[in-house]
Structure 1
Amino acid sequence: MNLLSKLRYGLIAGMMVGLIQLGAIACNPVTSPDSPAPSVPSPSVSVAAEISNSDGLIRVDPPSVAPEFRNEWPAELEEEFWQRANVAIEHYADEGYGNTSGENEKKSYPLAMFDFLAGNREEAISFLENDDADGSDHAHTEGIDYYFAFTLKGQIRKYFFFGQWLDPDYRQRMFEGAKRWTEEDPNGRSHPLYGNGTGTGGDWSIQRRGGWVDGRNTDNLRAMREVAVYLMAEETDNEDTRQLYKQKLQRYVEALYNIGMGEWDSENYHGHTFSAYLNLYDFAKDPEVTQLAKAALDWMSAAGAVKYYRGGFGGPTKRDYGSSNVVYGSAAARLLWHYFGDAVGDNPEPERDAIHVITSAYRPPLAVVALARREFDRPVEVLATKPTYENWKEGGDEQPAYWETTFFGQTYQMGSVAADFADGDVGPFKLMADNSERGVNYFVVNTGGDRVEPGKREGDQIGQYRNLLIWLRPAADTPFHFQIPKTAQTEIRDNIWFFQLENTWLAIHPINLSAFEAIDISDEKAAELYTNEQTLRATIQGNGYAGFALEVGEPDSHGSYAEFKQNVVERSQLTFRQTLPQNFSTNAQDTVQFTSSTGSTLGLTHNPENELPQITRNGEEHNWSDHFALYQPTEGNAPISLGWKQGTLRVEAGGEVFESSVVAGNEG
């Protein structure tokens, strides 16, 4: 059956509204691995790009993209963008490039490209044209490395953007290699030297994995592969492969708009997927594919804007490596900073992927920029869901795998996640609070290990209602760890822990926890990253359940810190029904009921069946099955909304409204 999908893309507030019908797709391979290389035409004319240096700023006039596919920015935003771009260019100018062994082009190609922008053109082009260190492994593609996904991302920008400065003979080699590479689907095709590899364990070398292209399927690696194969098939007129990969790209973008991204909001990988789609946006010739690329980038920009805050990246995250709990600690924040800014101080370590941002015509919608800068009415709570990691597998679209709550206050945002299973690479809770010197300060909590490390632990169950949060778990040897800035003022009154940040205040009611103590971080790298943070440890007391209830205050809700403390002490109330250890059973239900200083309530009953607790919010039961939307504010549609399998993303912020829809369907 042929797949027909409709891609509807609408821009409100004076922007284009259109409808594109994507046609039937054929996917028959055309040659065998032993076929001789076909005769090839010359590469198409290089895209027109210009690099200028005026007023002390380097600027790039990127490849032209049709006006209907652009999110136009006003001059002042563009000027801010180029100020930030030059921070990155200056940072990487005159830096050594490295080498092309394995997938080291992940680093070396962007460094050479940055150096080219800085003016060292001859040296940079010479490196980009060097024979690959593993050229014998790539003899079937004219010695060009079209294997490793991270290399592919750089190869695409090298060929299409920097191609006008490459030696014509070298560019012809790239073309001929790509022609052979895409004569049929390279993914799963037996490698001429290594076949299908020696096994799946160990490293990711060609010898180990085999094939004509890196077959890993994380969102970011898959995006690099599928975008590269599509663009090179389109460039070399391998139409069957182009149509096959157009279908793959289409399905991925449909998934974004209907069930979400498996590698959701990753502090480390979000930018890698984003950068791959910048290649597609800039260089695709088929306008339907340019439309797909824009839809993907608009979605990823909006998702990033929810978590980006003044140079930080917070709330729950998938594939969290534990290095993002500080301003500019997240790779995603360091990349999105180029678009969103709104930070204190320049980015000390711009992402190498910024080379794609700086040389691209893409800009996020104005409403998305305003969302990232929190230009919407606050306070507001947004409920969200995320799909299972491998969401393309059977059953992956039946229901969400994670339920997220984010509360945007006037001076902070707090986010937490619930799921029906433990997950070792998920950061389950983060709060970011305004700080005039740093941008934001972080308050982070987790259990296990010797510090605040990512991972949703088995038994940890979290419920959140706006500025209130309850965390409960069965007794275990895993202590609670709390990360707070060293500048925070700490006080204990009536067994309530108070932490005073600059304009945001925390009140923690411990449940069967010892008094906290400050500890040193044994990991040297983490200790250096968090040199301005303090880690507190509290151990579980007794054999029952333990945890805490949290209330967050600020001037808008409580006036002053003194009033906040007084109201919490006098008005808040916590009750806990605990099951004794000898009565533990699969039917045991331990309940925390928390009344805040303002009278709002949150209840959590620990669920022994799975990891989704029973939650009541202001007396109303929170039924997880009633909340499948990818983004849904609890009041109205602002600032962001996207229904489960509804396909229409809406962002409303800063006086701007943006909508983009991707609707999938099978017909005929």
Structure 2
Amino acid sequence: MEAEFQQRAKQVITKFAGKKYGTTSFESEKRSYPKAMIDFLAGNRDKAIAFLEAEDADAKSHPHTLGIDFYSSFTLKGQVRKYFYFGKYLSPEYRQRMRQAMQLLTAEDPLKRRFPERRKFWARSTDNCDSWVDCRNTDNLKAMRNSAVYLFAEETGNEATRQAYKKRIHRNISTLYQIGQGEWDSETYLGHTVTAYLNLYDFAKDKEVKSIAKAGLDWLLASGAVKYWRGGFGGPTKRDYGNGNCVWCALSTNELGLYFNDSPIDDPKPHHDSVHLITSNYRPHPAIVALAKKQFNKPAELLNSKPTYENWKPGNDTAPQFHETLYFGHTFQLGSLAKGSGGDWNGFKMMTFNSKHGVDYFIAATGSNPKKISTSSVGGDNIAQYRNLVIFLNDKLETPFQFFLPKSAKIETKNNITFIRYEKTWLALTPINLDIKGINADKTSKISKRYSQDQIITATGTGNTYSGFALEIGEKKTHGNFQQFQNSVLTKSRLDINQINNGVVEYKGVVGKVKLQHQALDLPKVWRNGNLHDWKNHFAVYQNSEGEKIPIYQGWKQGELRIEAGGYKFTRKLK
């Protein structure tokens, strides 16, 4: 496993060797510092060190820290590894200057110290701060800031600041073990949070802090392992900006793939932040790696929860905001949220096995902007999922629907059911007051720059009532061949819309059934195989729908994460 990791690390280093770094203006160090560090590892030491200790482009803005930039969280993350890992290669004078700057920064809590006016993070930034360090409170930026300030205070003996940040770090990481992460499963920001805590794990002297950092990394890598598969990242996601719907297309997969691999193709465009993984001693537990590779008995279904984003505010941790159903077949994984997509979160995403490039995607959403399909919604989406069966219902008139799928998928319609054939996975999509218009060339062209091998199918709700679709998914292990699956759906599966004017739809599949009663404001009423689903029993962060605590389990506010996969067992507690 380690030899494979080192081989992948070598590929990353080779990709960046000799490339331009960029600048140090504003928070450009988020890219330029990691690139210089990788180039150092590639053997271009003098060039890299000269850049790393060059005068900052905005040095005049940082007289309080001797011209060293400690403002942006992204810059702080790079400064940490520059000093603590590459510091022995820096000139003694520059290293001492950095240390003095750290001492000045952490003499008091830098988050409480103020500039006369707000400072920009980049030329057009609007979320600027007047504090000495980044005041922004997203999970990833907070992790970068807290880790850096803690390490700087520890290095320079500013004990009051160190203790204050130790408490903050413990609180933030223990929250993961209580209710999960507010910035959950982000295709981008999961990676940034991981690298922040790698700094803390690698360089903290306090053994308790090092252990807390490891707990954070274990949890984050486990959460990533649930959604990662063969170089892809799928299922519902928070802070999903629509750029990760292909293999190796997201920062989180760039980083997770270094640990997990399991893809038939190498990462063609690795991320510069991988330098933090490459130079770190942290490795995920074998059970976490096995979870990522889906080395557990399938099919399996998880009923998971996700907290509200600002869960630290009073009352925001009393119940989850999102309820997720995640199903793992032998050749696919499908996830949905009870209230669908909206804001910056995805509520319906599926990945299917592809032997050549890892996975293909299937995404369904209401709305008309194909570039925003990951989070698109006109409002009023309700989703019921029972294993491989889904009902997706919307309560607006003439609702626009769009579907994202590969051009390689074979599409045919029989008896008003659209069959979509992936390499090893088959979909039967039954419209509910929905006019499926077919492949939309205009919308497909709009996503072609990033997704040249994918396409958009559009549809529109009809009538004066609810619209949507029922979805049934099959594969060889459960349905034989495609022809058998198609015949079974045509002869056995049934859609009941007799009560659709009341928002009630039921779909009976070849195996099992699912029923939904639409709720405009509350969670939908869902019957899973005839049983009314009690959302109060859907609070656990991770739980198997059959009651077993495999492959992953974490109860609501229980402070313990358990994983069992690939013959390995992992348990971690943090209160």
Shift of the 126–524 alpha-carbon distance from structure 1 to 2, 3 Å rule, reads farther
8 Å CA contact retained: 1:545, 1:578 = no
One-letter amino acid of the counterpart of residue 156, structure 1: V
| Paired residues for 1:338-377 under 5 Å | 338-377=258-297
Relative contact order (C-alpha < 8 Å, sep 6+): which is higher? 1
Once residues 227 and 153 of structure 1 are traced to their aligned partners in structure 2, the CA distance between those partners, rounded to angstroms, is 8
Is 1:621–2:532 an aligned residue pair?
yes
Shift of 1:124: 0.2
Check whether the contact 1:450–1:521 (CA below 8 A) recurs between aligned residues.
no
2-structure distance, mates of 1:492, 1:350: 40
CA contact (8 A) 1:188 1:215 kept: no
CA distance in 2, matches of 1:213, 1:561: 58
Higher alpha-carbon Rg: 1
The Cα of 1:523 is off from its aligned counterpart by 8.7
Confirm or deny: 8 A CA contact 1:648 1:662 kept in the other structure: yes
Deviation at 1:328, TM superposition (A): 1.2
Match of 2:559 among 647, 651, 654: 647
**Which of residues 354, 357, 365 is equivalent to 1:446?**
365
Distance in 1, Cα, partners of 2:520 & 2:72: 44
Q: CA deviation at 1:396?
A: 1.5
Q: Report the AA paired with residue 308 of structure 2.
A: T
Partner Cα distance (2:541, 2:21) in 1: 41
Q: Is the 8 A contact 1:490 1:499 kept in 2?
A: yes
- The 1:179/1:649 distance shift into structure 2, 3 A limit, reads same
Change beyond 3 A, Cα 1:217–1:538:
same
Matched, 1:633 2:544: yes
- Aligned partner of 1:45 in structure 2 is none
Summarize the Cα distance change of 1:317–1:173 in structure 2 as closer, same or farther, 3 Å threshold.
same
Could you tell me whether the CA contact under 8 Å between 1:426 and 1:456 is conserved in 2? no
Between the aligned partners of 1:204 and 1:335, the Cα distance in structure 2 is: 29
Distance 1:246 1:348 in 2: 38
What residue is the counterpart of 2:350 in the other structure? 431
Name the CA distance, whole Å, in 1 between partners of 2:567 and 2:374: 39
- 1:166 and 2:77 are equivalent in the alignment: no
Partner residue in 1 for 2:250? 330
Task: Tell me, yes or no, if the aligned pair for 2:397 and 2:462 is still in contact at 8 Å.
Answer: no
* Cα 1:298–1:344 shift into 2, 3 Å: same
Q: CA deviation at 1:450?
A: 2.8
Aligned residue in 1 for 2:174: 254
1:203 is aligned to 2:116: no
1:596 partnered with 2:512: no
Give the corresponding residue for 2:390.
469
Question: How big is the shift at 1:189?
Answer: 1.2
Query: Secondary structure in 2 aligned to 1:464?
Result: strand
Q: CA deviation at 1:579?
A: 5.7
Contact preservation (8 Å) 2:341, 2:348: no
Q: Tell me which amino acid in the other structure corresponds to 1:172.
A: Q
Deviations 1:101-125 (A, max 9, x none): 0000011001100100000000000
2:570 matched to which residue of 1? Answer: 658
- Provide, for residues 204-223 of structure 1, a one-character-per-residue CA deviation record: whole Å limited to 9, x for no partner: 58xx5222011000000000
1:623 to partner: Cα distance? 1.1
Equivalent pair of 1:95/1:115 in contact (CA under 8 Å)? yes
Residues 486, 534 of structure 1: 8 Å contact kept: yes
SS at match of 1:278: helix
Shift of 1:134: 0.5
Contact 2:397 2:463 in 1 (8 A): no
**Residue 471 to residue 522, structure 1, CA distance change in 2 (3 Å):** closer
Mapped partners of 1:456, 1:639: distance in 2: 32
Amino acid at match of 1:413: Q
**Which residue is equivalent to 2:197?**
277
1:325 deviates by 1.2
Residue 302 of structure 2 contacts residue 327 of structure 2 at CA under 8 Å; is this kept in 1?
yes
Determine whether 1:296 maps to 2:209: no
> Residue 362 of structure 1 aligns to a residue in which SS?
coil
* RMSD over equivalenced CA pairs, Å: 1.7
State the alpha-carbon separation in 1 of the partners of residues 77 and 376 from structure 2.
30
Partner residue in 2 for 1:459: 380
Deviations 1:306-359 (A, max 9, x none): 000000000000000011111112211111000000001110111111000000
Deviation at 1:442?
Answer: 0.7
Query: How many angstroms apart in 2 are the aligned matches of 1:533 and 1:408?
Result: 23
Residue in structure 1 matching 2:313, options 385, 390, 393: 393
- For residue 467 of structure 1, report the CA deviation from its aligned partner: 0.5
- Counterpart residue type for residue 103 of structure 1: E
Structure 1 residues 221-258: Cα deviation after superposition (integer angstroms, max 9, x where no partner): 00000000000000000000000000000000110000
Amino acid at match of 1:391: N
* Residue number among 384, 404, 407 corresponding to 1:486 in the alignment: 407
Shift of 1:126: 0.1
3-state secondary structure, aligned to 2:527: strand
The residue type equivalent to 2:173 in the other structure is V
| 1:417-471 CA-partner distances (Å, limit 9, x unpaired) | 124x973111111111111111111111111133224245420111111101110
| Whole-Å separation in 2 of the counterparts to 1:477 and 1:181 | 57
The answer to whether the 8 A contact 2:399-2:467 is kept is no
Retained in 1: the 8 A contact 2:444–2:454?
A: no
Residues of 1 paired with 2:67 and 2:521: CA distance? Answer: 56
- Superposed CA offset, 1:550-587 (max 9, x none): 0000001101100000000000011114565xxxxxxx
Listed as ranges, the matches of 1:16-415 within 5 Å are: 77-191=1-115, 194-195=116-117, 203-204=125-126, 208-415=128-335
Structure 1 residue 477: Cα displacement: 4.8
> Which deviates more from structure 2 when the two are superposed, residues 461-470 or residues 448-457?
448-457
Q: Is the 8 A contact 2:363 2:374 kept in 1?
A: no
Residues 395, 466 of structure 2: 8 Å contact kept: yes
Q: Letter of the aligned partner of 2:392 in structure 1?
A: W
Q: Is the contact between residue 427 and residue 456 of structure 1 (CA under 8 Å) also seen in structure 2?
A: no
Query: 1:458 & 1:169 partners in 2: Cα distance?
Result: 59
Deviates more, 1:512-521 or 1:101-110: 512-521
User: 1:4 maps to which residue?
Assistant: none
- For structure 2, list consecutive stretches of 5 or more residues without a partner in the other structure: none
Q: TM-score, length-normalised on structure 1? A: 0.83
Q: Displacement, 1:526? A: 3.3
The one-letter code of the counterpart of 1:262 is G
Residues in 2 aligned to 1:568 and 1:246: alpha-carbon distance in whole angstroms:
57
- Equivalent position of 1:548 in the other structure: 469
1:68-113 Cα shifts (integer Å, max 9, x gaps): xxxxxxxxx0111011111111111111011000000011001100
Q: 1:457 to 1:394 in 2, by over 3 A?
A: farther
Q: Which amino acid aligns with 2:4?
A: E
Q: CA 1:197 to 1:130, structure 2 compared with 1: closer, same or farther past 3 Å?
A: closer
Q: 1:249-302 deviations in whole A, cap 9, x for unaligned?
A: 000011000011100000011000000000000000000000000000000000
Partner SS, residue 174 of structure 2: helix
Distance 1:252 1:438, change over 3 A: same
> How many Å separate the matches in 2 of 1:467 and 1:620?
16
Aligned length: 571
Contact 1:268 1:330 in 2 (8 A): yes
User: What does the per-residue CA deviation read over 1:590-640, in whole Å, with 9 as the maximum and x for residues that have no partner?
Assistant: 101110012x11000000333x11000011111111211000011211100
Indicate the SS of the match to 2:449. Answer: helix
- Name the counterpart of 2:518: 606
CA distance in 2, matches of 1:526, 1:150: 29
- Contact 2:118–2:130 (8 Å) recurs in 1: yes
Is contact 1:518–1:535 with CA below 8 Å preserved after alignment? yes
> Which is helix-richer, 1 or 2?
2
What letter matches 1:652 in structure 2?
Answer: E
In structure 1, stretches of 5+ residues that fail to align are 1-76, 581-588, 664-668
